[in-house]
């Protein structure tokens, strides 16, 4: 059977069933290997105010937030892009499913 993608859209390999996660944008349930995981640092202070405070030498608290997104939401927000047909066969290091 011809495959659209080498990894069949996931990165679980042959390990069978796996955990289900919920998309943080739309709430859709999807397998963990199919979800897009984003981790970024977040400061609780307003960005403009944070810059002023940093210039004065203040140290602001910073913590990391991890989010899971479904493919539709990740494409809509511009985190991943739709690739042309030949490029889909290549395995990408970070987002293997595309």
Binding site for Zn ion (CB under 5 A): 23, 25-26, 28, 70, 73
For Zn ion, which is the closer residue by CB, 21 or 23? 23
Q: List helix spans (H) across 1-98.
A: 47-55, 71-76, 85-88
Q: Identify the DSSP state of 48.
A: H
CA-CA distance, 8 to 34, in Å (whole number)?
10
Cβ-Cβ contacts under 8 Å for 79 (sequence gap 6 or more): 36, 38, 69
For Zn ion, which is the closer residue by CB, 53 or 67? 67
Distance of closest approach, residue 21 Cβ to Zn ion, in angstroms = 11
Distance of closest approach, residue 24 Cβ to Zn ion, in angstroms = 8
For Zn ion, which is the closer residue by CB, 7 or 74? 74
Distance of closest approach, residue 11 Cβ to Zn ion, in angstroms = 18
């Amino acid at each position: 059977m011809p495959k659209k993608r080498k990894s069949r859209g996931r990165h679980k390999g042959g390990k069978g069933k796996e955990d289900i996660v919920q998309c943080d944008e739309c709430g859709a349930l999807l397998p963990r290997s199919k979800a897009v995981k984003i981790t970024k640092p977040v400061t609780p202070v307003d960005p403009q105010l944070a810059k002023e405070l940093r210039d004065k030498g203040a140290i602001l608290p910073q913590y990391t937030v991890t989010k899971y997104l479904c493919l539709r939401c990740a494409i809509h927000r511009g985190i991943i892009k739709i690739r042309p047909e030949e490029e889909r066969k290549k395995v990408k290091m970070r987002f293997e499913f595309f």
